[in-house]
Amino acid sequence: MQSRAFDVLRRTACVAAGLIGCFYVTWRALATLNHDALWFAIPLWLAEAYGLVASTLFYYAVWDTTPPHRPEDGVQRTIDVFIPSYNEPVWMVRRTLVGALAMRRPHTTWLLDDGRRPEMEALARELGCGYITRGDNAGAKAGNLNNAMRLTGGELIAVFDADHVPLPDFLDRVAPYFADERLAFVQTPQEYYNVDSFQHLGTRAGRGAWHEQSLFYRVIQPGKSRRNAAFFCGSCGVIRRAALDEVGGFATETITEDLHTSMRIHARGWKSLYHNEVLALGLAAQTATPYHLQRLRWGQGTMQALRREGVWRLRGLTLHQRVNYFASALHYFDGVQRLMFYIAPALAVSTGILPIHADPAPFAAAMVGYYGTSFVAFKLSGRGYAMFLATEVYHMVRFYTYIRALAGLVVRRRLRFNVSPKASLGRPGLRSFLPSAIVAVYVGAGVAGGIARYAMGHVGNAPAFFVNLAWCAWTAGLAMAAVRLSQRKVDFRSIPRSPAGLPVRWATAGAHGVGVLADVSELGAAVILPQLDDVPAETFVELQWPELSLRHAGRVRRAVPVAQGMLVGLEWDEGGAPPARVLAQFAVDLAARRYLLDFERPPDRLGQLRLRRGYKRRWERIPVAVPVRLGRSTAAPWAMTENISERGALLLAPRPFQPGSRVELRGADGTTAFVRVVRCQEVKLPPGPAWRVAVTGPRVLAALHRPLGALQPVGAAA
């Protein structure tokens, strides 16, 4: 379907959902409230009315997401890159500094250390970037940035949190927008390379990535940008110094300096833009504990800004900006709405008190019409990022945190800025899932009481009873899913590893061969070897890829049998470990390449009116990394399979092939497969040269999808 036709369909669905919603909510107020239980009926109606307002504001925000035009701009402006830090670990800051220093456009990188740590000063000196600290922590992150502004003079300021690594072309893609002298800042998406984090759900390689903020960063912010209402998000953005100077720097009065500063800049008549392209990758909250801490700070800070500035009374804002800021603030009230929806059905089932008084057939028709059209409008407006079930699970996860955040509206004392840790080693505590567990227990108790009433014949309205019973089942399912999510997402690794999927030669004291470098970090690596009779104490690995060098031994810390052989976890020997900067750059490059190749796409094709490619059998395409030699010669390069089927494979190869050419693939165990090249596409991403090559041929799965092969004694020909 053409984009223009899709826009017409999407906007028609939004208008229809809005009109039907207005009719439904009005009819509910005038004709369906149970006047004998207004204490119950009115709060439930208010929750539905809030939903209509919130969804209408969503349709308004995403009405037009056309990307902005980037002008040609040959002016080389001076750029300062600020990386504020407080208590983040050295490895995390090193990765961000390495990424910042690698950006191609001329700039100066500064580490802003509010922790006053000698190791951070040494890190800055090691990498060759600027280092700024101060004697106190007044103003938290905003104060840190303002202090750096006084000591630097770049015309533009790029800000990256200590866990967000910019890609090399970040400044090249963003800086040209500043040809418009009234443009204050450009914001880009915040995406995350740890796709197994607590924020991610249902993410699969090749099917796109979805995290809890996807809809905001990939759809809502672009829509806000069309109305000059996109706001700065504190990281992965570039801001003009002159605009900051005009408003007195970053706002220090609230704990969300980004939103507050954006409001002040917009009120002075400056413009903003949103560039919807992944140009930096960060670390999402790995477990539930840091997730809740982060969301609580965002919510409290938004309420503070709402109280101090007032969306509707702040002079200088346009109507579009007021509406968009109001929508952002209103978002944090949905915790109260959700609580009402979670309480209502079990209360009705257990007591028999009904908040709605209406004939079943007309009410069912009106409800299905409203919520059905709303679902369609949500899906189409989400442009592939509107995941209904996943969104409802996260509503359940955070509803209590959002209720707590509303205290920022009334609490006059200064709230503390808490740096959000991205990891909480081990399992989250009880507090992270207790509200969801309480909802599950409450609903269960309500259902038990309702069933007892039904058995005793005390149910007068059977259709309403069973509808509420179904609603209870939905609520209980969400609560249990939220509890399971909070407990399932654990973190036992101090440093996240970057998936590699590259061929390596390995050697132990008694054998050697070719295996797979599964992942790598500054502390170690995981390699897949053939099944070993005895687990070695040490393994030497050498990467087999042009222009990449990784030759080091590691102590074996664990060995786990897998389908391809044995997964061996290595810890680098202190004396022979690669330099930390080299490993940090390698980890950053591999993480970015994997994300951009496998996950940078909308996960929901239904929302784009595109059907997924179907498979006759599940096993036809197996995602598996197998090293294969591209030819018979021992000098032929090694490639890696990314997935294999009976009819072909997708390879990551170190050199290109002409479509139509024939290639002999040889596995590490000597098996062969003769294939024809169907497609070859260059991967223009570091590290090292790479092409994705699609091949087809008979019985490729049988030939290549097997264990890595027999061991070769040390001294045998490679």
> In which region does residue 431 sit, left (phi positive, over 0), alpha (psi from -120 to 50) or beta (all else)?
alpha
Beta strands 79-85 and 156-159 are: parallel
Return the bridge partners of 675, or none: 663
Buried b (16+ CB within 10 A) or exposed e, 392-428: bbbbbbbbbbbbbbbebeeeeeebebebbbbbbeebb
Q: Is 642 helix (H, G, I), strand (E, B) or coil?
A: strand
Catalytically annotated residue among 80, 113, 163, 258: 258
Buried b (16+ CB within 10 A) or exposed e, 127-153: bebbebbbeeeebbbbbbbbbbbeebe
Catalytic annotation present for 113: no
CA distance 564 to 706: 6
Return the bridge partners of 519, or none: 499, 526
Q: How far is CA 195 from CA 203, 233, 526, 591, 661, in A?
A: 7, 21, 18, 10, 36
Amino acid making up residue 624: V
Intra-chain end-to-end CA distance of the chain, in Å: 53
Catalytically annotated residue among 114, 163, 491, 589: 114
295 in Cβ contact with 405 (< 8 Å): yes
Rg (CA), the chain: 28
Cis peptide before 627, with omega less than 30 degrees from 0? no
- 74-77: long-range contacts (C-beta < 8 A, 24 or more apart)? 75/179, 76/105, 76/106, 77/154, 77/155, 77/156, 77/175, 77/178
DSSP conformational letter for 559: E
| Residue 315: Cβ within 10 Å count | 7
**Residues shown for the chain:** 718
DSSP 329-392: HHGGGHHHHHHHHHHHHHHHHHH---SB-S-HHHHHHHHHHHHHHHHHHHHHHTTT---HHHHH
Considering only CA atoms, which of 161, 175, 83 is closest in space to residue 129? 83
Considering only CA atoms, which of 9, 4, 10, 26 is closest in space to residue 382? 10
CB neighbours of 698 closer than 8 A, spacing ≥ 6? 647
Amino acid making up residue 607: G
CA distance 448 to 439: 14
Q: How far is CA 451 from CA 413, 439, 471, in A?
A: 48, 18, 14
Return the bridge partners of 517, or none: 502, 527
**Alpha-carbon torsion angle 452, 457, 463, 464, nearest 10:** -60
DSSP conformational letter for 713: E
Tokens read off for 118: 């000698």
Tokens read off for 677: 């090249």
Sheet holding 183-187, edge to edge: 130-132, 108-113, 79-85, 156-159, 237-240, 183-187, 271-274
Catalytic annotation present for 573: no
- 446-449: long-range contacts (C-beta < 8 A, 24 or more apart)? 446/345, 446/346, 446/347, 446/349, 446/350, 446/472, 447/346, 447/349, 447/350, 447/472, 447/476, 448/350, 449/349, 449/350, 449/351
CA distance 267 to 247: 9
> Tokens 């191609």 sit at which residue?
104
Active site residues: 114, 258
